[in-house]
Structures are given as structure tokens and as C-alpha cells.
Amino acid sequence: MTSLHLQFTSNPTDISWHKALERQLTALAQAAGLDALSSTGLQFALVEAVNNIMEHAYANERRRPIDVSGRQDPRCLTFVLRDRGIPMPLPLPDGSPADPMAESGRGWQIIRAAFPGVCYERIDGENVLTLTRPLIGSGATPGAESNTT
């Protein structure tokens, strides 16, 4: 498999999308030559990004659309998350380590550890977050961050 696509609606108490994400992501990561630990790292990060949509973009409101797609090309894995919630505040968190005793503030740390390339755009009322992971040996360099509103 060289692509992934999930469409579901927001529901902070439902985790049925986790299994679908894991299944498709595992196949995509294996096809890209990633080991199991790296694949799980991507899963941790994508779950955080979807959690952010549910918790912040949709403020825990249910039945709002979420679209997650991913693809492999020779140089990198690219995932695009789309929602129609409120815009992300800018600048995006830089993923600096949280105070070890803090209860929050680790989501972006997890996202940025897995995805050196982060691009956020607001396009026609839609939040579009693009996460990029270069593949080892591809010669690709991590994508520079960009924000477009």
C-alpha cells in the first residue's frame, strides 16, 4: 500500500478510528521500509494531530468531518489532515519539551518528533495540516515549516 485515506466524524469518546488508522498506517509504513517502532511513532503523532482537531478545532463538538490522507513517494511520507473547525492559533507550537511534571503540553512535542516537516494552511474555511517525514536514504531534507492563513 502506498496511500492511506480515512474519513470520519469527531467524537472525543470514540476510538474506533484508531484501529483503522493503525491498520492502514502499518501497511503504508512497511511499504516505505520503516520499522515497527518508527511506524508507531507516526501513529502517536497522527493520533495527537487528530486529538487536536477534536479538542481545539471542534471544541469537543461531535459529528464534524475529519479527513486524514497519507501517501508515500520515493523521498518521503506525507500526511494531510483536514477539518472545518476554528483556525489554529499561530505560530504553531515549536514542540519544546514540556515541564516533566506538567500534565499537558506534550502533543506537539510528539508530532514534531515524528514529522520534521509541518505546514499549516487555512483554505476556504478548512484547516489543512500537512506533515512530512523524509525517508532515510532518500536524500530529502526535512521540510521547512510554513504557515499560511
Partner 1 sequence: MSLEHHREQDVDVVHLPPRLVMANAGEARSELKAIISSGKGKVVVNLAKTEFMDSSGLAVIVAGLQAARKMDGDLHLAHMSDTIRALFELTRLHTVFQIFDDEAGAVAAFK
* Closest separation in Å from C-beta 142 to partner 1: 17
State how far the Cα of 60 lies from the Cα of 119, in Å rounded to an integer.
23
For residue 8, what is its C-alpha cell?
A: 470520519
Length of the chain measured in residues: 149
Helices (H), 6-149: 16-31, 36-52, 107-114
Taking the least distance from each CB to partner 1, the nearer of 13 and 139 is 13
* Closest separation in Å from C-beta 12 to partner 1: 6
Taking the least distance from each CB to partner 1, the nearer of 20 and 98 is 98
Q: Which residues bind partner 1 (CB under 8 A)?
A: 12-15, 18, 36-37, 40-41, 43-44, 47-48, 51, 54-55, 97-98, 100-104, 106-107, 109-110, 113
* Closest separation in Å from C-beta 99 to partner 1: 10
Taking the least distance from each CB to partner 1, the nearer of 59 and 123 is 59
Taking the least distance from each CB to partner 1, the nearer of 51 and 149 is 51
Ramachandran assignment for 63, one of left (phi > 0), alpha (psi -120 to 50 degrees), beta (any other): left
* Closest separation in Å from C-beta 66 to partner 1: 14
Crossing angle of helices 36-52 and 16-31, in 10° steps, is 140
Helix (H) / strand (E) containing 67: strand 65-72
